Amino acid sequence: MGENNTDNFADAAPEYTDPTNGFKSTMQLMTDTQDSEDTRIDLNEKDRPPKQLPWYYGPVYLLFWVGLFFAVVYPLFNHLPTGVKVEEESAKAGKFVAQRAETTLLKIDLMGPKIAGDYVTEVLMVQLLLEEIEKVRQEMRQDLYELEVDVQRAQGAFLHWQMINMYQGIQNVVVKLSAKSSNSTSYLLVNSHYDSKPSSVGTGDAEFMVVSMLEVLRLMAISDDPFLHPIVFLFNGAEEQPFHGSHGFISQHKWSANCKALINLDSAGCGGRELLFQGGPNHPWLMKHYKKSAKHPFATTMAEEVFQADLIPSDTDFRMFHNFGPVPGLDLAGVYNGFVYHTKFDRFSAVSRDSLQNTGDNVLSLVQSISNAEEMYDTEAHSEGHSVFFDYLGLFFVYYKESTGVALNICFSLAAIILVCLSLWRMARVTDQKIGTYAGAFGIMFLLAILGFLLALGLPLLMSVFYDSSDRTMTYFTNSWLVIGLFICPSVIGLVLPMTLYLSLRPSDKIPHAYHLQIAGHAYCIFLVVLCILLTVASIRTAYLLLICIFFYVCALIINLLSRLHDRGYLWSLVLGACQILPYLYFTYLFHSFLVIIIPMTSRKGMESNPDMFVALLSALGSILSMIFVAPLINLFRRPKSMIGGLALVMFIFCMISVSEVGFPYRAKTNVMRLHFLEVHRKFYEYDGSLSLEDSGYYFDLQDRRLEEPLRDKINLTGFTRLDEECKKEMKCGMPCFNHRWCAAVEDAHWLPRDELVELPDVPTVLELLNKTVLVGEFDTRVRYDFKVSGPPRMSLFVMPLDGVKILKWSFLMGMLDNPAIYKPPYHIFFGYGSDDSPVEFYFELRKDNANFDVPLFKLGVSGHYMSHLNKRDAATQKFLDDLPDFAHPMEWPTSYERYIF
């Protein structure tokens, strides 16, 4: 091959005088002012074209961009302000004091898990909150403020996806702080929850936010500057059930109707920075206040659209306030270290004082700003559409209205098209060629750009499919750096491969290599323009990412055209590279943030979808957007194909590492396998009251794609099977699925039978048939069944009418029966208790085609969930738990399930 293809071409191809004037040095070229406006390239001249740079500068060039990420992006992403100590408070008056919040957090942490209905949650936690609020009252400026406290005990019901949620005795601790000088009837609502999941103390989710709220309440109450609008601090007691506390407040509390704006605080991790991932909707003024006040901004429209597309296996109270208020607001959540989320490792030790300072600074500033907002007097008057918003490396925040975004996208897209056309015309004029020559070259490059984009997306996705088919998903789960070789390198290879192969063939003697390479950038620019316009038409605000790419490319092109570097060999690439630094930093920051958030979620994404595809897609999009104009510049150097080969070698090495023990996903304490299962005691009763089945086993709702394989060599899984056969004959496969997510995945669930019956706690689940009454009407005859059910703080009913039977009416919400196209049997009704565990009475009214009510009419399943960690597990369960490997974290509880036929 000789030294390389480029040198061979230099010897064989017709020679010409390049716009760089032959062999002048770079400094000479930059200072040469002798070129006239009508410079031409004469292809018949015998001067050699400027040589590409030596090949060994190529790896240095690529490593420069890698180094830029680790030198700038990584430190800024992990930067946190120094936590303020109590002894520093006098010198930093008005500042959030992280140490005070930290002290309260430790007290809450030591209380253990806080499951709704438990003594710790309903008594001790409420007492602690009231004591902390009373401390605020004692310290408060009595001359300026009024403080009201209410412990709400709510009961109610709402439809949530495919489930009716019913609750009673749910406790919310609600505080209203008002300035005595205020006459405003518009309140700012600040919300978080103090309950936790089973087995989890909940320090990060969301006691971290609760103590931040307490310190913000204290600082607002001692401030010398009264605020315009009252502030309601809602400490809700049942978010994890789900959302019972927030629904109870917004639908029933005496202050809820006055709440006109919301700051919702939650977490999907522990520590780090909190992300603004939902705003409004349709209230961009809230973003104005975030921009003005947030001291450590961290936000992106892309997160909002990804979350609202239901691609994230989480939800927040924000949904309740929006759906049942509606109250516009800002939804913020901690997203760092999602590996400990909803596990026993979500503890005080995982939270830094600096992360408390970060959240406290932001929440305090937001509360101060919005509580003084003129918009609060009439929020509907400021409902002006969605926003486009993002932070830049945590340094500053950018937002604008969606309508402004549409205008910017279209204007810069048109500008890019015009400038690219001007550039092609300029090239044709300088080389004295027909414009059709350059138009043809551009057409080819545009097709290659499409191919490069498809390869940049396709190769990482292909890797994810390959790993999934080899049962090697989630190899990056503990060692996330593996995504560099598994997904990022293939994406960069795909991005540059078509252009590089084409340019190495020197496709046209009439067009200089420098121009060919520049046309490649133009092609990618116009491809992004097309995508930007399509996303804008589809009202996808994440199109702002493409706008950033286009904007900085347009800037570089304008500079090159005005300075005439456009026609000076490869000097245009210096301007292009310099202009790409800012977007490169942003895109690597953004997609690094997404990977930090998403990778821990792959362990709870469920079994149906391949989580590697989502991680591969994010890695590919990040690689494309950050490198789309940078990576093709490897063709400035000799042997560009060798650099692609080097990337392929890196990819191969990472693949070899990933299939070793390094690629085993789980690690004890830090990166655990989530193992959700119930210890089920089942009883099936027939129509005549006879017991046809009584058994026990473990019902697994497996959380990740690896299913049970990591456990096979660790525990006895004899008899472990899918529920396919059960699903054919029993409603919900004969399983007491806990909530809508469990029930949606029940057909993929697994069952492990056990010989001993599960010993249930002392509080039994009891269903009583109170009455059966045939109701004869003028137009139809129906039958009514009255029941009473009692049991543990969480119970479910599953109702399945048999053939020819229709449920006309029941004591639950009628919305499920009124919308048969959306809600189909078996129906799921969930009961959640707080401080009130009194029995629930309910009824059904049914009609049958032949009005014969002396035959089986419906199936009724009743499950009781003993979720509290205080409920003792029986000996067989305890042995099963003890046998689990240390990398498996169980979230489990005993469950009763009785199926009746009436």
Look up residue 814 and give its two tokens: 């009628």
Taking residue 771's Cβ as centre, other Cβ atoms within 10 Å add up to 9
**pLDDT the model gives residue 509:** 79
**Is residue 409 a contact partner of residue 533, using CB atoms and an 8 Å limit?**
yes
Q: List strands edge to edge, sheet with 766-776.
A: 766-776, 781-790, 840-848, 805-810
Question: What does each C-alpha distance from 376 to 186, 365, 380 come to in angstroms?
Answer: 6, 16, 9
Bridge partners of residue 91, in order along the sequence = none
One-character DSSP codes across 109-151: HTT----TTSHIIIIIIHHHHHHHHHHHHHHS-TTTEEEEEEE
Q: Quick: pLDDT tens for 506-532.
A: 777 789 999 999 999 999 999 999 999
Q: Quick: pLDDT tens for 239-249.
A: 999 999 999 99
Q: Which of 244, 408, 388, 380 shows the shortest CA–CA distance to 833?
A: 244
| 820, pLDDT greater than 70 | yes
| 99, pLDDT greater than 80 | yes
Distance CA(177)–CA(137), nearest Å, equals: 10
For strands 673-685 and 387-392, give the pairing: unpaired
27 band by pLDDT with thresholds 50, 70 and 90: very low
Which sign does the torsion angle of CA 619, 529, 396, 302 carry? negative
**Which one-letter DSSP state was computed for residue 819?**
-
180 exposure class (CB count in 10 Å sphere: 0-12, 13-18, 19+)? exposed
**Which one-letter DSSP state was computed for residue 671?**
B
Taking residue 484's Cβ as centre, other Cβ atoms within 10 Å add up to 16
For strands 329-334 and 259-267, give the pairing: parallel
**pLDDT the model gives residue 777:** 82
Q: Quick: pLDDT tens for 166-195.
A: 999 999 999 999 999 999 999 999 999 999
CA-based angle 108:111:116, to the nearest 5?
Answer: 95
Q: Quick: pLDDT tens for 29-72.
A: 333 433 433 444 444 433 445 578 999 999 999 999 999 999 99
Calculate mean pLDDT across residues 420-437: 95
Distance CA(70)–CA(501), nearest Å, equals: 30
Backbone angles phi, psi at 105, to 5 degrees: -60, -40
Calculate mean pLDDT across residues 776-792: 93
Q: Domains (ranges, CATH) in the chain?
A: 86-385 (3.40.630.10), 403-663 (no CATH), 672-901 (no CATH)
Question: What does each C-alpha distance from 900 to 549, 681, 683, 744, 843 come to in angstroms?
Answer: 62, 15, 9, 22, 15
Tell me the three state secondary structure of residue 753.
strand
> First vs last Cα of the chain: how many Å apart?
84
CA count, 13 A, side-chain hemisphere, 79: 17
Look up residue 32 and give its two tokens: 């040469």
Q: Quick: pLDDT tens for 4-19.
A: 443 333 333 333 334 4
**pLDDT the model gives residue 50:** 59
Calculate mean pLDDT across residues 366-393: 97
Taking residue 749's Cβ as centre, other Cβ atoms within 10 Å add up to 24
Bridge partners of residue 752, in order along the sequence = 698
**pLDDT the model gives residue 841:** 97
Distance of CA 668 to the CA centre of its chain: 24
**pLDDT the model gives residue 26:** 36
Look up residue 440 and give its two tokens: 């043809």
Tell me which amino acid residue 74 is: Y
Distance CA(86)–CA(386), nearest Å, equals: 41
Which sign does the torsion angle of CA 307, 302, 655, 670 carry? negative
pLDDT over 70 percentage in the chain:
94
Q: Which of 795, 815, 803 shows the shortest CA–CA distance to 855?
A: 803
Distance of CA 19 to the CA centre of its chain: 50
Q: Quick: pLDDT tens for 125-153.
A: 999 999 999 999 999 999 999 999 999 99
Question: What does each C-alpha distance from 148 to 25, 234, 363 come to in angstroms?
Answer: 77, 12, 21
Calculate mean pLDDT across residues 875-897: 96
**Is residue 792 a contact partner of residue 865, using CB atoms and an 8 Å limit?**
yes
Calculate mean pLDDT across residues 657-680: 96
Distance CA(286)–CA(584), nearest Å, equals: 29
Q: Quick: pLDDT tens for 226-285.
A: 999 999 999 999 999 999 999 999 999 999 999 999 999 999 999 999 999 999 999 999
778 band by pLDDT with thresholds 50, 70 and 90: confident
Looking at every residue in the chain, the average pLDDT score rounds to: 93
Q: Quick: pLDDT tens for 563-600.
A: 999 999 999 999 999 999 999 999 999 999 999 999 99
